[in-house]
A and B are shown apart, each in its own frame.
Chain A
Amino acid sequence: MLAQFAVHLVWAMAVAVVVAYLLGRRRTEFLAVARWGYVLLSVGVAAIWLGLLVAALTHDFRFTYVWGHSSRQLPLLLLVSSSYAGQEGSLVLWSFGLAVIGLLVRTHARRYGWEAEVMVPFAGVIAGMLLLLVAKNPFTFVWETYAEQGIAEGFLPADGRGLNPLLHNYWIAVHPPTLFTGFALMTVPYAIAIAGLWRRQYQRWVLLALPWLGIATAILGLGIMLGGLWAYETLGWGGFWAWDPVENSSLVPWLFGVAALHTLLIQRRTGGLVRTNVLLVTLAFLSVLYSTFLTRSGVLGDTSVHSFVDPGFFAYVLLLGLMGVSVGGSALILARRWRDLGKGVLVLPAHSRELMLALGALGLVVSAVVVLIGTSYPIIAELLGRPKVAVEQRFYNLLHVPIGAWILLLNGLSLLFQWRATPGRLFWQRLWIPLAISVVGAAMLWGAGIQDGALVGLGATAWFVLAVNGRILLQRFRQRPQTIGIWLAHAGIALLVLGTVCVGTLSWTVHARLPQNEPVRVGAYQLTYLGRERIEQQYTDREKWRYAVRVEYDGREATVFPVLFWSDYNQRQAAFLEPGVRWRLMADLYMAPKAVETENGAVQFLLRRGEDTVLPGDAYRVRLLRFETGQARADTLTLAVWVELRSMDGATDTLRLPAQMLTLEHFLPQWHLYRDSLEVALLRIIPERLDIARSQAVLGVRQRGVREREVFTVEFSLKPGINLVWLGSLLTAVGLFWMGLQRLRRTARGSIRDGQSPVVQSPTAARAE
């Protein structure tokens, strides 16, 4: 009760801080109150998270959240992670991230006397998040959640339901916190933009926002990439990106953010694009909210592989309301300043870096809009009253080949051009080496087997970017190594695209059935299923098996270990499957488990009632006489068929072949020894849906003494270039972060003009300021 009330209290504190900062704009005594209030607010938010953490660590299953997301058997790391693995918990973590970031932003903004204007929208966002927590309180008790079950107050369940086995790995510890920090950071440039409009300082905000935008895109990008790694390495989706709504909706803010990063640079140099910049930074923030709405309201439930829950009507309306307030507030202040903002004249000379940057940023915006429309298409269609519809993955792939090529091409060009104007000779002089490299690179891709003109073209632009940025990178590295961030990030994107092209076209997948200890050859690889081993036996809530498969190729060998995981979480009804991956520099070996069967060494026959067939060896005919539906005992059901065996010399025998049905799929056959040489059994029954009398029996016949063996069915693939994807995304994140940090340090020194590149303003833009 106390804890629930604390959430309300902290929310009230957030509202009070907003009001205090609002008043503090005019009167300094309120500013002092606001500052202390914000510190208290941060402590409060931290306390909520700590409270949830302690509840998880001490197994306080009175709380529905803790009961629903953890259990006594969870190890420490997963217990900690369970504090943010669910909806409410992730909102808590997000708010906590916001509160901490706010402390840093506040210090930064105070240097420029912008504190109040920045902190009003920022604390407003925190208040919004906390309002969601008030609606979906993480400290709700089980007897409140399940009131209709008449649970006594104070009831402490013996154990929790546990954490989804899909989340049982170290990725849960790193991916969500990174992603939520990225989401939280996107609030900063937005708050600074609003402050800039408020203060009518349409140029200055750009300098304050740039470093934060760099850091935000770095962390968000890293979070997205970690999600891809998770999907690839443990979830066994086979790839790292599936254009799923959840993935998409985290990508859209990143794309808007990166577009804004480039257009902010234009404004810093030329003073133009003022409206565009405010708009883009706002969109980056709003798309974070929209993403939250899409992924938590359940509106896209049918079109995603992620699981959604209906958060309840109140939270749904609240999310819509929060979005409405942000959109409305931003639109209002934008509208009031719109004409003011347009006073700067944008000059984009033909042979200039600013034009190339603007066109490139246009590509990024197009990409963001494409992903946004694709993801929202089911909703858009529904709002338009059209039949329910969704786009296929092909939609995104199709469009992103030309969009990607456009963005990369302009990135390369923008760096060959200079600001304002570029002498033609200089441009051509700079162009030919990268051009040559991209032609050679494209030829290499073609030679490697990518026989798709469009993709080779995309690859060529990636080589172009690599060449242009690589050259600057080397130069800079010798002269001013602290400034290499941006070029590192560009090179990273180029590597990411090259890797994606390679994985998308050069990887191959084969389906293989692997009987134990019997080598199976697929292409140049020989696979041998060696056996399985029970792991993690210290836990009683699961049965986890590690399958060992030896892979031999080119005289080398490696062993991969796919895992099958039965958990109490779903009453062990079905296994959770984890792939076995052998990391290699050029191409990973990737093995996703599909099925495990016991093969009985028998020949199988499908027979309907009255049908007959000749057994191998031509010695007997077998006819299915009838089905006998069974006696259920305990939880097993015994079924049987009656068959007639007729030898070629005319002698006939009638046999009853029983089998225990364990599950629909799993039968336990009883082998019947016939005439000391054959073994016959009923293996399965395939029911006929329309006419149950026409069901089929699967019979097995084998020679006496044949041993049973296990067959492990897998999907084996080779993933060339996958490491370029990881390396590229990592470089991008590191580069962006480094750039952001450098700019932050420079602007934090107090001089808003960052040393090497003073603001160049056109006379008209200066007037607007």
Chain B
Amino acid sequence: MVELVKDYAMRVRPRYWLGGLVLIGFVVLGISALEQTSVQYVSIAEALRTGKRVQIKGTWVREMEPVYDTRANVFRFVLQDERGDRISVVYAGAKPNNFELAESVVVRGSAVGGEFQAVQILTKCPSKYEGSAPGPQ
């Protein structure tokens, strides 16, 4: 038994190559995943031009009523980006919580036939939660 143990200890060297191989595998996997899943922030004009999956940051236009159609489970609103362009956004789902209060909105999805089909809507309501709200008076 002791011999056996000694034998094992003698024959083995650090297995750095094994770790290296695994690491390389994960790096390759990671880079390809990054390529596949990273989504650029673009303007509406750019989104319309490419039709690719993108994100747009903007504000929702208050004169245009956002509508949540509970029968079709579709939420529609109009988004205006920083350049002032507007696009109608369609989202297959309910109106996000706190949408009315959102100072800015980030939509992720792609432009199809002149409207933006969103798969995710992020709403940001910073002033309501911290700091910059009106003072105590």
A-side residues, CB < 8 A to B, are 61, 67-68, 86-87, 142, 145-146, 149, 151, 155, 157, 161, 164, 236, 301-305, 307-310, 346-352, 355, 358-359, 362-363, 366, 370, 373-374, 377, 387-392, 394-395, 398-399, 402-403, 406, 420-423, 511, 513, 569-570, 573-574, 576-577, 594-595, 597, 664-665, 684-687, 689, 711, 713, 715
Contacting B38 at CB < 8 Å: which of A362, A390, A399?
A390
Q: How far is the CB of B69 from chain A (nearest CB, A)?
A: 10
Nearest CB in chain A to that of B14: its residue: A348
Q: Is the CB of A398 within 8 A of B126?
A: no
Interface string of B6-19 (1 = CB under 8 A from A): 00110110110011
Enumerate chain B residues within 8 angstroms of A350, measured Cβ to Cβ.
8, 11-12, 15
Q: How far is the CB of A413 from chain B (nearest CB, A)?
A: 13
Q: Is the CB of A574 within 8 A of B8?
A: no
Enumerate chain B residues within 8 angstroms of A304, measured Cβ to Cβ.
122
12 additional contacts, CB 8 Å, given A389-B40, A390-B39?
A151-B136, A155-B136, A155-B137, A347-B12, A388-B41, A390-B55, A392-B38, A570-B128, A576-B98, A665-B66, A686-B65, A689-B63
Q: Is the CB of A573 within 8 A of B100?
A: yes
Q: Is the CB of B30 within 8 A of A370?
A: yes
Contacts A/B (CB < 8 Å), 9 sampled: A151-B137, A302-B122, A366-B26, A387-B41, A392-B37, A395-B34, A420-B8, A423-B5, A684-B65
Enumerate chain B residues within 8 angstroms of A395, measured Cβ to Cβ.
33-34, 36-38
Nearest CB in chain A to that of B73: its residue: A511
Nearest CB in chain A to that of B94: its residue: A594
Q: Is the CB of B62 within 8 A of A303?
A: no
Q: Please report whether the interface of chain B is mostly helix, strand, loop or mixed according to DSSP.
A: mixed
Number of A-B contacts (CB under 8 A): 191
Enumerate chain B residues within 8 angstroms of A151, measured Cβ to Cβ.
135-137
Interface size of B in residues (CB-CB distance below 8 Å)? 65
Query: In the bound complex, what is the Cα–Cα distance between A688 and B36 (angstroms)?
Result: 37
Nearest CB in chain A to that of B100: its residue: A574
Contacting A359 at CB < 8 Å: which of B19, B66, B129, B135?
B19
Q: Would you list the 4 A-B pairs with minimal beta carbon distance, nearest first? A: A421-B8, A146-B135, A349-B12, A594-B94
Decide: A689 near B88, CB < 8 A? Known: A392-B108, A513-B71, A577-B97.
yes
Enumerate chain A residues within 8 angstroms of B122, measured Cβ to Cβ.
302-305
Enumerate chain A residues within 8 angstroms of B26, measured Cβ to Cβ.
366, 370, 399, 402-403
Q: Is the CB of B33 within 8 A of A351?
A: no
Enumerate chain A residues within 8 angstroms of B33, measured Cβ to Cβ.
395, 398-399
Enumerate chain A residues within 8 angstroms of B42, measured Cβ to Cβ.
387
Q: Is the CB of B9 within 8 A of A420?
A: yes
Q: How far is the CB of A658 from chain B (nearest CB, A)?
A: 18
Q: How far is the CB of A282 from chain B (nearest CB, A)?
A: 20
Query: In the bound complex, what is the Cα–Cα distance between A395 and B108 (angstroms)?
Result: 15
Q: Is the CB of B99 within 8 A of A420?
A: no
Q: Is the CB of B65 within 8 A of A391?
A: no
Q: Is the CB of B101 within 8 A of A573?
A: yes
Decide: A373 near B39, CB < 8 A? Known: A302-B57, A664-B65, A713-B94.
no
Decide: A570 near B101, CB < 8 A? Known: A303-B122, A305-B122, A423-B1.
yes
Nearest CB in chain A to that of B46: its residue: A387
Contacting B39 at CB < 8 Å: which of A389, A422, A713?
A389
Query: In the bound complex, what is the Cα–Cα distance between A86 and B129 (angstroms)?
Result: 9
Nearest CB in chain B to that of A402: its residue: B29
Enumerate chain B residues within 8 angstroms of A366, measured Cβ to Cβ.
23, 26, 30
Interface string of B72-114 (1 = CB under 8 A from A): 0100001000000010100000110111110010101000000
Enumerate chain B residues within 8 angstroms of A161, measured Cβ to Cβ.
133, 136
Query: In the bound complex, what is the Cα–Cα distance between A438 and B62 (angstroms)?
Result: 56
Query: In the bound complex, what is the Cα–Cα distance between A26 and B71 (angstroms)?
Result: 77
Decide: A146 near B136, CB < 8 A? Known: A398-B33, A664-B62.
yes
